[in-house]
A and B are shown apart, each in its own frame.
Chain A
Amino acid sequence: MIGNYGYKDGSGEFYISLDSDKCNSCKKCVEECPEQVLEMICNDYDEIVPIVRDDHRKKIKFSCAPCKPLNQKTTPICVKICDQNAIWHSW
């Protein structure tokens, strides 16, 4: 299952996509994120999956800002550290 967490507003479109089928629950993304944006939960189908935390979801542009300095194309830590290609950002 692919979940796209984030939002689109007047200033742009900001989504983090998490593919729970590719995820192997290593939890490195959860642990390495400097802003604790991600967490592992038990979903509605009783599966353990990664998600974006609810208190970050509606301000993800700001939460992820430390990994994305202006005018530089850097890969965020969570994307770099996942060896399953289970996470990607839309911006």
Chain B
Amino acid sequence: MKKLESEKKEYWKWPEYSFKAEGVDWNNAKIIVAGIDVGSVSSKTAIFVDDELASFSIIRTGSNSPESSQKVMSHALEGTGVKLNDLKYIVSTGYGRVNVPFAQRAITEIACHGRGANYIWGPTVKTVLDMGGQDCKAISIDEKGKIVNFIMNDKCAAGTGRGMEVFADLLSIPIENIGETSLVKDEPKPVSSTCVVFAKSEALGLLRQGSPKESVVAAYCSAMSHRVFTLLERVGVKTEFVITGGIAKNIGVVSRLEKELGVKALPLPKEQKFDPQLAGAIGASLFAKTLFMKANKQS
């Protein structure tokens, strides 16, 4: 794994990275396809070489999403000897999907997450919870990863990564450590789960009253998990249940959510090097392969 940026003291900045699988024969590959997921907070790409996940990259989208789509793609291709034109089909997804100039088709992140989760965990997955940078969605899928029911909230920051970034910043805790830090012995009362802005004021009040940081961050993780729980209730949780998106890496939210649901989320399969933020890009890549095969059969 290669760290792309040196760690600056900006607590909400999670580490960007890219990954290349060993032993991939890029130059003799028959079909290389890619999926690119341009979210409002992070951009991800997954490249499949002859049906194997060969490389991926995760970076911050920043203020220019077309630029970040090019950047994340070039990180994923770096050192492979393969150029963008060598890819047979590219599907874009995510908030910025219509702004990816080199994608052949845009597909919604809901469909891509369903398919991606099905690939990562297999056909037993029935419920996918994706907690993204600026949205939160619950998806029911069938054994092929096709959507049966979904609900999304992208209007309100409560229950999203941005909400967590606000708290990381407030408490000066690097965002990737928030989960561990929140696992306190005495579970505090949750802060208001309905608005990040008001939750932040509450948190400031708690800090002034002398509550330790760990307790405040636990209160917020608790609030966020409850918020997400009510979203899931609308769609219904059927096992197997999995969590994708950045917050899947936050044990503080995940453990509390599992407790409230009474259901444990499947852990990431150990054999493959997956990142839960990749489900969208992986799903998009699989759609790319299908669409390429369909187009080729007709020509």
Interface assignment of B234: CB less than 8 Å from any CB of chain A: yes
Please tell me if A69 contacts chain B, counting CB pairs below 8 Å: no
Which A residue sits closest to B192, measured CB to CB?
A10
The CA-CA distance from A1 to B195 in the complex, in Å, is 30
Residues of A within 8 Å of B152, CB to CB, are 4-5
The closest CB in chain A to the CB of B235 belongs to A4
CB contacts under 8 Å to A, within B180-217, are 194-195, 198
Nearest-neighbor residue (CB-CB) of B106 within chain A: A44
A32–B200 alpha-carbon span in the complex (Å): 43
Given contacts A44-B107, A45-B111, A58-B154, contact A10 B147 (CB under 8 A): no
Assembled-state Cα–Cα distance A7/B151 (Å): 9
A9 contacts chain B at the CB level, 8 A cutoff: yes
CB distance A15 to B151 under 8 Å? yes
CA distance A59 to B156 in the complex (A): 11
Query: What is the predominant secondary structure among interface residues of chain B facing chain A?
Result: mixed
- Contact for B151 among A4, A10, A45, A59, CB less than 8 A: A4
Instruction: Give the contacting residue for B153; candidates A1, A2, A7, A45; CB below 8 A.
Output: A7
Contact at A58–B155, with CB atoms within 8 Å? Answer: yes
Known contacts: A10-B195, A10-B198, A15-B234. The answer to whether A4 contacts B155 by CB under 8 A is no
Q: Give every chain A residue within 8 A of B287 (Cβ-Cβ).
A: 44
Q: Mark B230-257, 1 if CB is under 8 A from A, else 0.
A: 1100110000000000000000000000
Check if A3 is an interface residue, CB within 8 A of chain B.
yes
Give Cα A59 to B198, complex, Å.
Answer: 20
The 8 Å CB contact of B148, one of A2, A44, A59, is A2
**A44 near B149 (CB under 8 angstroms)?**
no
Q: Residues on B close to A: CB < 8 A?
A: 107-108, 111, 146-156, 158, 194-195, 198, 227, 230-231, 234-235, 287
Interfacial residues, chain A to chain B (CB-CB below 8 A): 1-10, 13, 15, 43-45, 57-59, 90
Q: Can you list 11 contacts pairing A with B, beta carbon distance less than 8 Å?
A: A2-B150, A3-B149, A4-B235, A5-B152, A8-B231, A9-B155, A9-B194, A10-B158, A43-B108, A44-B107, A59-B155
